[in-house]
Amino acid sequence: MGTDGGEILTIGSVDFGEEGQFEIFQRMGNFVESMALKSVVELGIADALNSNASGQNRPMTLSEIAARIALPSLDIARLSRLMRFLSCKKIFSATIDSDSGEILYGLTNSSKWLLTKSEESLVPYVLFATHPHVLASWSRMSACIAEGGTCGFSRATGSTLYDFQSENSEYQKVFGDAMACISKLVMKAVLNCYKDGFKNVGSIVDVGGGSGAAVAEIVKAHPHIKGVNYDLPYVVSNAPEHHNVTHLGGDMFATIPHADAIFLKYVLHNWSDEECVQILKNCKNALPERNGKVIIVDVVLNPQSDSLSDDEALRLDLGMLVMTPSGKERTEDEWKMLLKEAGFQQYKIIKIPSLPSIIEAYY
């Protein structure tokens, strides 16, 4: 019997078939969570919860949140439903005020990643992952598999990822901001966990380094290293200056500048096995025979694991399927095969608190 005289009856139990049904419903509805997070970012809900007058991140009522969002036509009833959903998912906290009986919402360790001005924010990646062109690419996955060839992004836009960016400044900024966001987080983990790895390196080339931000962080943390940012000429021509970093334009499929170490962060997962072997062979030719090494920062798939990071890595692999012509994530065995074919007989995998791992490869 309920507290107010109502009664809830549960008749029967969920059998195996019905549980499978609910599992499929839940998987189908995962996109709802993505759209809910996009709404949080676009409405500035996390920022509103982080901006109370006292400077303390105390929980707030819906009315207080709405006042800080400051949209004249904001629908509080609909906002309530969004916050109820996300608090059930532990994105926001929800408690009952003992005096007023109102629900108070607050930031959690998850929603703090949705603050726009935070040093560690995933906002740019949320906007990229939920961008209409990206969602349209995902909708072409079955065609990619059934027909092969053209990737989902090209099917959706009629252009390759990089050609499309050169013609669409809005998407170029969304993509660039997302990659910079992820790179910043990854580099923090690399620099914190791989300090000894840079000790005996006098020079390093960041292949496909884009703006040069990553190699600039390396030489800032290790001033004895001379850094080279190596990318296509049109990319490095727009790269900002960094202390102790030289920008050099070229083609990694043709040649790579000589250095004690070659740095490849989120590069090889963009290419086919054959293309990766060619890049790695060029790396090998650029290294000294003694003590030279390639430092690869990329995902190492572990399909048997049920950790959140390994599950996300599998999602990223499907993302490469729809966004690139031949890119993919790889297991340790697949990495071992590539390295061996390129002439690297030894390797070491270093797990770091980030989605990718560090793979050191030697002669």
User: Active-site residue numbers?
Assistant: 269
Radius of gyration from C-alpha coordinates of the chain = 24
The vertex-224 CA angle with 222 and 230, nearest 5°, equals: 80
DSSP characters over 102-161: -EEEEE-TTGGGG-TT-SS--HHHHHHHT-HHHHHHHTTHHHHHHH-SS-HHHHHHSS-H
Report the residue count for the chain.
Answer: 363
Find all residues with CB under 8 Å of 285, minimum gap 6, and list them.
255, 256
C-alpha span between 105 and 103 (Å, rounded): 6
For residues 251-263, one letter each, b for 16 or more C-beta atoms within 10 angstroms of the residue's C-beta and e for the rest, the string is ebeeebeebbbbb
Q: Give the pairing type, strands 330-331 and 300-301.
A: parallel
Beta carbons of 329 and 355 less than 8 angstroms apart: no
Distances (CA, A) of 113 to 54, 104, 109, 126, 352: 21, 20, 7, 10, 19
Provide the residue type at 358 as one letter: I
List the beta bridge partners of residue 358: 297, 350
